[in-house]
Structures are given as structure tokens and as C-alpha cells.
Amino acid sequence: MNIVLDLLWLLITIIYSYLESLVKVFIPRTRKSVAGEIVLITGAGHGIGRLTAYEFAKRKSRLVLWDINKVKKEVGDVSIVVNNAGAIYPADLLSTTDEEITKTFEVNVLGHFWITKALLPSMMKRNHGHIVTVASVCGHGGIPYLIPYCSSKFAAVGFHRTLTLELEALGKTGIKTSCLCPVFVNTGFTKNPSTRLWPVLETDEVARSLIDGILTNKKMIFVPSYLNISLTLVRFLPERALAALNHIQNVQFEAVVGHKTKMK
């Protein structure tokens, strides 16, 4: 009898969720305020991280900027622009221990949006915060000659989904989670990328989408947004159809195979 009731509740939940999603298409989502919140951004010295810092600064967040590359001057440039946003703490992530992290934030870690292992317990204690995982569309489907990259992004997506489930199981509803999954971004990581069906994105577009997703508590942030639909459809395609779709997609970029650089 219990399984019947559970299945009935599941059906009701599915119908309600679809109706809620349909309503949200026509009604703009409420955006939360991040003014005064502490925002920790790793990789803040360049690319998406740097532009994300600018976007949070516009919203008067308190920024903690880290980068594994020693680009203190660039991080400093950010602090000059956002000096009205609150405290700025440039730091080298590689030289910072968990103990140092904990000491830095032991007074107030109420508003962190970027997470490290050392900060999660404090966020859980306050039941407040937002954890953002940066992944890629490659975390949902592989691309030839990018095995290490795709594998790491699959791991990132898995981390996001598992952490989300664990926080829900623990009743930590005040801690939100988001996962950024863009297509190719023009950051220089891949050389001369091109596809027939996907655009090659600029970092400012991705940063704006990321901020919008965080402020509306969006779980999975696809850029462009229609990727969500295409990835759902792909799950229902047979293997031969997927191979044909990949052929049409014709993803190309410069890859190093052995000791030679080739277009793939």
C-alpha cells in the first residue's frame, strides 16, 4: 500500500513540477540580493572568473578573489574597479592551506557562493550560502580527443548533483547549488574551436548567464539555454542516430595527437 501511495505522490509531484515550470516561462523569476554577501571566486584573475567578479561587484558583494596563476596585478585591477563593493582579498590558492582558509573566514562565512572543503561546514552550520560548480557541456557528453577534459567535467557535474542531493537529505535548504555548463568558450583553452550547431561563446556572455542563474537559484545553468532541450532529446536517440548527429555537429578544434597538432 505504501508503494502505491508513493507512486501516486510521485505522479502528483511530476505534474505539479511541469505546471510550475510552464508558469515560470511567462512570469519572471525573483532575483535575490547579494549585497554585502561574501563571494569567493577561484580563477578570478582572468576569463569567466574575472568577469564574474565584476558582475558581483556591481551588486555590492564582498569579494574574495583567488587564482592559481600568479596574476596578482590583474586581480589588483579588479579591486581598483570594485573598491566600493567592500573588502577585497586577493590570494594565491596554491599557497593557501585549509587552516589559513578557515582562519580567514572564521568570523563570517554567511554568504559564500564559491566553496572549498574548509568552508562547507560553516555554511552548513548557518544553513546559508550558494555553491557554484563550473563544468561544461562536455560533462554531459564526450568529445573525441578531449578525454581528460571531458572526464574532469563529468566529475564536476557528478559532484554538483551528489552535493545537491546530500544537502537536501540533510535538510540544508538554505544552501543553494548551481552548475555552469557552457559550450566552447573563447578563452584560449581550445584553439580555433568551431561547430555547426553550437555557437562559440564569449566570456562576458557566459558570466552574465552565470550571474542570472545564481540570482534565480537555477540548478543547472546551460549556455546557451537551449542545450537543456537538446541534451534531453539526445537521451532518447539510438546509437546510430547519435553518431549521425555528431557528424552533423562537426566539432573542430586544434588538438595535439602524439607530437603533431591537427584539426579535429
Q: Dihedral angle at the C-alpha atoms of 181, 184, 186, 189, nearest 10 degrees?
A: 90
- Report d(CA 138, CA 146) in Å as an integer: 9
Query: Could you tell me how many helices (H) and strands (E) the chain has, helices first?
Result: 9, 9
Q: Are strands 191-194 and 252-257 parallel, antiparallel or unpaired?
A: antiparallel
175-182 β-sheet, strand order? 129-134, 175-182, 220-223
Among 57, 77, 68, CA closest to 95: 68
Reading the block at residue 109, the C-alpha cell is 562565512
Instruction: Identify the CA nearest to 44 among candidates 112, 108, 111, 91.
Output: 91
Let me know if 16 is a catalytic residue: no
Measure the CA–CA gap between 146 and 251, rounded to whole angstroms: 12
Q: What letter represents residue 148's amino acid?
A: P
Distance CA 7, CA 84 (A): 53
Catalytic center residues:
149
